[in-house]
Amino acid sequence: MDQKTFKFNSEIYLSKENLQSIDTFEINFKQLENFFSESNKFILLYGDEMSGKKYILNSFINCFHFDKKIFYASLEDDYFSEKILEGISYFDVIVLDRLDLAPTNPNWELGIFNLYNELNEADKSKIIFLSDKPLNSIEFNLKDLQSRISSISAMSFAELNDEEKRILMELIFNKRGISIDNSVLSYALERSSRNLENIINLVQKIDEYSLSKKRNITVPLLKEILES
């Protein structure tokens, strides 16, 4: 089965300087750098969809560890099976998303258990589990896996406030060469999901829609997009 790595869209992922100008990114980046600089090989990053944990992790790796070999798989993807976890210990960083879904499939539990044991003996690999739930809310059926996972470090990301989300939107628009009025940004935030990944997708949708219509980005244009 093909292995999957993080793919970075240069129009979405911002420079280290831009991201660190947002206080919450700076806080989250420091937490991640502590993990990357220590000998600990395992960590769980948890938070609901509002937290934007995948974007924050992607941004961190893109800024600070872009030279590393990164493997990514999500238990949410139907086209993946536990077989994809075999023979991947040569990656520098392994990211396994939606660990909280593992108890629904005994094959995933066994695959993660075997991967944990393999990486525990590897020289350099680190594994980052992502979960929508905190560690104490995940009940594995495989007790040996429960024992191992319960011993790893866990952290939640600080969530961006509304002003920081507005700044992030503006920075992404600027990277695309678009100057946008604050009233448009405020309108977008007030009437759309505060989920960080949805906000980023909205920026892309606004840009593409305005280009297709050959119109400037204004509140009336945004109304059309949000109502479509």
Joined together, the tokens standing for residue 181 give 């009025």
- Cα–Cα distances in angstroms (integers) from residue 42 to residues 17, 54, 77, 79, 214, in the given order: 28, 17, 22, 25, 49
The model's pLDDT over 183-203, given as tens digits with 9 standing for 90+, comes to 999 998 888 777 888 888 888
Residues 6+ apart with CB under 8 A from 22: 160, 164, 167, 168
Segment holding 128, helix H or strand E:
strand 126-131
Q: How many helices (H) and strands (E) does the chain have?
A: 9, 5
For tokens 């992607």, what's the residue? 58
Domains of the chain: 16-156 (3.40.50.300), 162-227 (1.10.8)
At 226, which amino acid appears?
L
Task: Evaluate whether 71 touches 43 at the Cβ level (below 8 Å).
Answer: no
The model's pLDDT over 9-37, given as tens digits with 9 standing for 90+, comes to 555 678 888 888 899 888 888 989 999 88
> What is d(CA 69, CA 5) in angstroms, rounded to the nearest whole number?
8
- Cα–Cα distances in angstroms (integers) from residue 86 to residues 108, 111, 129, 184, in the given order: 12, 8, 16, 48
**Is the entire prediction scored with pTM above 0.85?**
no
Task: Evaluate whether 116 touches 92 at the Cβ level (below 8 Å).
Answer: no
Percent of the chain with pLDDT over 90: 38
The answer, yes or no, to whether residue 95 has pLDDT greater than 60, is: yes
Instruction: Select from 203, 153, 172, 154 the least CA-distant residue to 59.
Output: 172
* Residues 108-131, mean pLDDT to the nearest whole number: 90
Percent of the chain with pLDDT over 70: 95
